[in-house]
Structure 1
Amino acid sequence: MQTRRSFLKILHWALLPLFVWFILVTPDDVLPFGPRAFQAHSILALIFVTLCLLWTADYLRKGLAGRPGPKLGPRARIAHQLMHKALIWGLFGIALGGFLLGLTSPILLKAGGFLPIAPPLNLQQANHIIGQIHIFEFYLVGVIAAGHAVFHCWRHIYLRDNALRIMAPKVFHRFL
């Protein structure tokens, strides 16, 4: 159990800066900086998607890693479980949306500039719709992630159940 929890901590903290990056920086933002900047952005996206799929695979294999905590009331326990599942499935949906964008694209898209995403079917209207859904879903998962952070801060401060120490690296425990 400890190795799984350690793995998930690493996954959690590796995903966070990437997720923030993609909320703040779009492909259109990096295009003016040239092909190398776009390539770097694409490699970060490939890493992000790989981590999302690893988390989904872990969840499908072993379920949620954490329990809600004894101090949470019945509604908060349900919210805890739903929030975590929404994050995991939302991250999977983001990865799936990227695949569908590649599939419906008029040209062969390559993740990281070298890994073909899917054979392009040149379905422009579907590509546009999937692109809009992909963007909406990404920001929706961002809102859920922000709610997730607020929820755990509330638990840590109001309930005093040390919720932040569960996923925070030990080096930060003295600040919590």
Structure 2
Amino acid sequence: MTDTAAAMPSFATKIKTLHWAIAVLVLIMLYGGFTLSRETATLHFGTGLVVLVLMVIWLALRGSSPRPAYPPMPRWQEIAAKATHHSLYALVTLQPIFGLLLVTTSKGEPMAYGVIPLKIAQNDTLHEIGEWLHAVNGYLIAALVALHVLGALYHHVVLKDNVLKRMLPFAKG
């Protein structure tokens, strides 16, 4: 590990906490979305709302607290890292919105956690648009999550810098 990598500051605890909470929920939601059943749909809908609220909080905190600088790396890697991060922020925030478009216009009576009614009015056209956007966006999120994880592991295993460590919940960067 280089002196520069050792000196890289860690992320704020609140950012780390939200990052890992959202990461776990996104993985659960991806799995749930690809294996969705009538029995699990109400949990999927409710957890999607939780992800949306957490993303809004995370974006507000992220916008108000400085991000630690990227370590020295080739320009193309920095561009790829920024593009991946910003795409994840946007797509994970949009996913529950697309899900809401899908469920609020459905034929059924969708409920979040079995208690919060989500239907506004049936509209087959909007429902199909929401269904398509939600599905395509889900695949894009899965691809970006894989890219993000591979990038973090590349830094940790190959470059042996602190990029991953500074985002780990109990690590001191």
- TM-score after normalising by structure 2: 0.78
Q: In structure 1, how many angstroms separate the alpha carbons of the residues matched to 2:33 and 2:58?
A: 23
Q: In structure 2, how many angstroms separate the alpha carbons of the residues matched to 1:149 and 1:164?
A: 9
Match of 1:22 in 2: 29
Q: Which amino acid aligns with 2:58?
A: W
> Does the aligned pair in 2 maintain the 1:53–1:95 contact within 8 Å?
no
Q: In structure 2, how many angstroms separate the alpha carbons of the residues matched to 1:148 and 1:29?
A: 25
Q: CA RMSD in A?
A: 2.9
Superposed, which structure 2 residues align to 1:49-128 within 5 Å? 49-59=52-62, 61-62=63-64, 65-69=67-71, 71-106=72-107, 109-117=110-118, 119-120=120-121, 122-128=122-128
> Does the aligned pair in 1 maintain the 2:112–2:118 contact within 8 Å?
yes
> Does the aligned pair in 2 maintain the 1:27–1:38 contact within 8 Å?
no
Q: Which amino acid aligns with 2:136?
A: F
Note the C-alpha offset of 1:81: 1.1
Q: In structure 2, how many angstroms separate the alpha carbons of the residues matched to 1:118 and 1:21?
A: 23
- Count of residues in correspondence between the two structures: 164
> Does the aligned pair in 1 maintain the 2:92–2:141 contact within 8 Å?
yes
> Does the aligned pair in 2 maintain the 1:46–1:112 contact within 8 Å?
no
Note the C-alpha offset of 1:64: 6.7
Note the C-alpha offset of 1:51: 1.8
Note the C-alpha offset of 1:13: 1.2
Note the C-alpha offset of 1:103: 4.0
- In structure 2, the gaps of 5 or more residues are 1-8
Distance change (3 Å), C-alpha of 1:76 and 1:92: same
Q: In structure 2, how many angstroms separate the alpha carbons of the residues matched to 1:81 and 1:95?
A: 22
**CA deviation profile, 1:104-148 (whole Å, cap 9, x unmatched):** 33455443333344632x220221122121011012111101101
Query: Which structure's relative contact order is higher, taking Cα pairs within 8 Å and 6+ residues apart?
Result: 2
Identity, in percent, stands at 22
> Does the aligned pair in 1 maintain the 2:156–2:163 contact within 8 Å?
yes
Task: Give 1 or 2: higher helix fraction.
Answer: 1
Q: Which amino acid aligns with 2:94?
A: G
- In structure 1, the gaps of 5 or more residues are none
From 10, 17, 23, the counterpart of 1:10? 17
